[in-house]
């Protein structure tokens, strides 16, 4: 018999390097006001890794709304789960405003996107149902699937032909089981930045009987004429049966919501385990979200500025010869070739010598030999941030291509003191 804790010696694919990377690559502390430039390891850097798309995190009206709500209600109110003792007029007001904004009859708040999505998936599926989902679905969708015993068919990422094939298989299966079909995909895929082919998938409803659940975490606030997301962008919002977004990105808050027709939302209110068995969102988060939604709706200049920066950054990267893949959204990946050790040295070089802080993705998350630098432009960024970043990226790519980086993991902690 083994000690249950024997397994913790194996820290996992990233955790095994924790001694070298903790505090620098993992668990870094970004200090100062949330903005385009923040303090990392005591020095100001251009920050490209926050999903603060519209710059609402530190907007003075948002800060004032958050502070006023905290002063009036504290962080404890309301006590209890929504269903039992944790409801309020503010929670319902936010739900009504969100539903109207995304063009649905009703909406329901959730405390976290991750838990909320997992719970929705669990709640909508039973043993006889079949789920058809994109191969690159976010962990919250995959973890929701782990909770259900519905049959699963996965389709190749954003491949409508394969999606149809899986819908055919699902249709044959439910003909026997007597269940229904749920199709799950995303509005914007957060790693590569490609938009889900939602309109084409919706068109398959003419041939197959299924419901669509859309995770629009990166699309809400950034896509569509009014910012109502990828359904609006592609003109198929009315075809999306269950619309989901988190407040963790454009809304620069915490929490999430799900929207759909009134009967569906009513069902979720009484069956969504993540909310029935959890305390309601505290009042400052709710009142703060009402203010964020108001700004998102009434200040289109924020989204315009965001997209101005997205276009400026992406065209400058392309002009400088960088491969940014197939992004057609704000998420901006830069694909490079190199091993993990080179990637580590390159990142330290970017941060220490050029003051550029962005997220980096390497093996084992992506195949060996590939590096992705992931940039999230926001409405806060300036042309100067973009110019400095391009200069830095050109310099580090040159060093990478010429094999100039050391062949050992950099002594990060020593380097930064
Ligand atoms: C696509 C997607 N879905 C869901 C979530 C989870 O949201 P939250 O941070 O509110 O738990 C995220 C990350 O925030 C995400 O990127």
Reading the block at residue 359, the tokens are 């997220």
Nearest to 114 by CA among 259, 245, 213: 245
pLDDT at 379: 98
Cross-strand bridge partners of residue 334: 373
Q: pLDDT band for position 414 (50/70/90)?
A: very low
Question: Rounded distance, CA 107 to CA 98, Å?
Answer: 7
Residue 55 forms part of a structural domain: no
SS3 of 331-376: the string is CEEEEEECCHHHHHHHHHHHHHHHCEECEEECCCCCCCCEEEEEEC
Q: Are residues 293 and 307 in the same domain?
A: no
What's the number of domains the chain is made of?
A: 2
Distance 225 CA to ligand 1 centre (A): 23
CATH number at residue 313: 3.90.1150.10
Q: Is the pLDDT of residue 416 over 60?
A: no
Q: Are residues 26 and 95 in the same domain?
A: no
- Closest residue by Cα to atom 15, ligand 1, is 217
pLDDT at 383: 98
Question: Rounded distance, CA 74 to CA 85, Å?
Answer: 17
* Residue 96 · residue 107 · CB < 8 Å: yes
Distance 186 CA to ligand 1 centre (A): 11
Q: Is the pLDDT of residue 243 over 90?
A: yes
Q: Are residues 360 and 391 in the same domain?
A: yes
pLDDT at 205: 98
Q: Are residues 179 and 319 in the same domain?
A: no
Residue 52 forms part of a structural domain: no
Residue 216, ligand 1, Cβ within 6 A: no
Nearest to 310 by CA among 282, 330, 284, 334: 330
Exposure of 124 in the CB half-sphere (CA atoms within 13 A): 27
Q: pLDDT band for position 412 (50/70/90)?
A: low
Q: Is the pLDDT of residue 413 over 50?
A: no
Residue 186, ligand 1, Cβ within 6 A: yes
- Closest residue by Cα to atom 14, ligand 1, is 248
Q: Is the pLDDT of residue 267 over 90?
A: yes
Q: Which domain holds residue 66?
A: 60-298
Nearest to 45 by CA among 66, 24, 73: 24
Q: What is the pLDDT of residues 67-115, one digit of tens each?
A: 999 999 999 999 999 999 999 999 999 999 999 999 999 999 999 999 9
- Closest residue by Cα to atom 10, ligand 1, is 113
A 10 A CB-CB count for 128 gives: 15
Q: Considering only residues 13 and 349, tell me which one the structure prediction assigns the higher pLDDT.
A: 349
Q: pLDDT band for position 12 (50/70/90)?
A: confident
For the chain, what percent of residues have pLDDT higher than 70? Answer: 99
Reading the block at residue 168, the tokens are 């055919």
Q: Are residues 223 and 279 in the same domain?
A: yes
For the chain, what percent of residues have pLDDT higher than 90? Answer: 92
Q: Are residues 236 and 310 in the same domain?
A: no
Question: Rounded distance, CA 28 to CA 360, Å?
Answer: 13
- Closest residue by Cα to atom 2, ligand 1, is 217
Residue 342, ligand 1, Cβ within 6 A: no
Where helices occur in 183-246 by DSSP H, the ranges are 198-203, 230-234
211-215/181-186 β-pairing: parallel
Choosing from 138, 139, 216 the residue with most ligand 1 atoms within 8 A of its CB, the one to mutate for a pocket test is 138
Distance 164 CA to ligand 1 centre (A): 27
Residue 215, ligand 1, Cβ within 6 A: yes
Which among 298, 315, 335 is the end of a domain? 298
Residue 138, ligand 1, Cβ within 6 A: yes
Q: Are residues 18 and 93 in the same domain?
A: no
Q: What is the pLDDT of residues 299-339, one digit of tens each?
A: 999 999 999 999 999 999 999 999 999 999 999 999 999 99
Which among 250, 269, 298 is the end of a domain? 298
Question: Rounded distance, CA 234 to CA 198, Å?
Answer: 7
Distance 1 CA to ligand 1 centre (A): 38
Choosing from 248, 281, 359 the residue with most ligand 1 atoms within 8 A of its CB, the one to mutate for a pocket test is 248
Q: What is the pLDDT of residues 140-178, one digit of tens each?
A: 999 999 999 999 999 999 999 999 999 999 999 999 999
Distance 147 CA to ligand 1 centre (A): 18
Q: Are residues 285 and 324 in the same domain?
A: no
Distance 248 CA to ligand 1 centre (A): 7
Q: Is the pLDDT of residue 27 over 70?
A: yes
Reading the block at residue 103, the tokens are 């063009």
Note the Cα 192 to chain centre separation in Å.
Answer: 12
Distance 200 CA to ligand 1 centre (A): 24
Q: Are residues 149 and 218 in the same domain?
A: yes
Q: pLDDT band for position 11 (50/70/90)?
A: confident
Q: Is the pLDDT of residue 239 over 50?
A: yes
Note the Cα 382 to chain centre separation in Å.
Answer: 23
Choosing from 217, 218, 230, 331 the residue with most ligand 1 atoms within 8 A of its CB, the one to mutate for a pocket test is 217
Strands across the sheet with 356-357, in order?
30-31, 37-40, 43-47, 356-357
Q: Are residues 66 and 185 in the same domain?
A: yes
Reading the block at residue 216, the tokens are 């629009």
Task: Quote the pTM value.
Answer: 0.96
Q: What is the pLDDT of residues 182-203, one digit of tens each?
A: 999 999 999 999 999 999 999 9
Distance 138 CA to ligand 1 centre (A): 8
Residue 159 forms part of a structural domain: yes
Choosing from 53, 109, 114 the residue with most ligand 1 atoms within 8 A of its CB, the one to mutate for a pocket test is 114
Residue 246 forms part of a structural domain: yes
Distance 179 CA to ligand 1 centre (A): 28
* Residue 214 · residue 202 · CB < 8 Å: no
Distance 216 CA to ligand 1 centre (A): 9
Q: pLDDT band for position 389 (50/70/90)?
A: very high
pLDDT at 183: 98
Q: Are residues 172 and 226 in the same domain?
A: yes
Q: Are residues 15 and 152 in the same domain?
A: no
Query: Mean per-residue pLDDT for 215-234?
Result: 98
Distance 246 CA to ligand 1 centre (A): 6
Residue 54 forms part of a structural domain: no
């Amino acid at each position: 018999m083994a000690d249950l804790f024997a397994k913790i010696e194996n820290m996992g694919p990233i955790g095994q390097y924790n001694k070298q990377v903790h505090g620098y690559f993992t668990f870094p502390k970004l200090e100062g006001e949330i903005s385009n430039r923040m303090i990392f390891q005591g020095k100001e850097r251009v920050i490209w890794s926050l999903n603060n798309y519209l710059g609402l995190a530190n907007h003075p009206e948002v800060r004032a709304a958050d502070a006023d709500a905290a002063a009036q209600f504290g962080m404890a109110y309301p006590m209890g789960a929504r269903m039992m003792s944790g409801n309020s007029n503010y929670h319902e007001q936010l739900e009504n405003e969100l539903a109207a904004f995304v063009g649905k009859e009703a909406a329901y708040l959730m405390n976290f996107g991750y838990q909320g999505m997992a719970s929705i998936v669990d709640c909508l599926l039973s043993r006889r149902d079949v789920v058809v989902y994109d191969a690159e679905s976010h962990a919250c969708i995959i973890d929701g699937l782990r909770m259900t015993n519905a049959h699963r068919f996965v389709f190749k990422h954003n491949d409508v032909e394969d999606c149809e094939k899986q819908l055919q298989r699902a249709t044959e299966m439910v003909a026997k089981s007597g269940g229904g079909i749920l199709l799950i995909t995303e509005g914007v895929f957060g790693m590569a930045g490609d938009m889900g082919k939602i309109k084409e998938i919706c068109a398959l409803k003419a041939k197959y009987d299924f419901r669509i659940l859309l995770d629009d975490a990166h699309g809400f606030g950034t896509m569509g004429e009014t910012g109502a997301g990828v359904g609006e962008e592609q003109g198929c919002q009315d075809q999306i049966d269950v619309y989901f977004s988190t407040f963790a990105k454009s809304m620069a808050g915490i929490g999430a919501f799900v929207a759909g027709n009134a009967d569906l939302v009513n069902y979720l209110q009484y069956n969504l385990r993540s909310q029935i068995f959890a305390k309601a969102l505290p009042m400052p988060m709710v009142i703060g979200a009402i203010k964020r939604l108001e700004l998102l709706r009434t200040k289109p200049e924020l989204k315009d500025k965001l997209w101005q920066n997205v276009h400026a950054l992406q065209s400058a990267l392309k002009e400088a010869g960088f491969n940014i893949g197939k992004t057609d959204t704000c998420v901006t990946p830069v694909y490079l070739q190199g091993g993990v050790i080179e990637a580590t040295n390159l990142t330290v070089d970017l941060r220490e010598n050029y003051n550029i802080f962005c997220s980096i993705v390497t093996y084992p998350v992506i195949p060996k030999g590939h590096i992705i630098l992931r940039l999230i432009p926001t409405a806060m960024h300036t042309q100067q941030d973009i110019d400095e970043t391009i200069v830095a990226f050109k310099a580090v790519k040159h060093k990478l291509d010429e094999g100039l980086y050391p062949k050992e993991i950099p002594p990060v902690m020593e380097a930064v003191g």
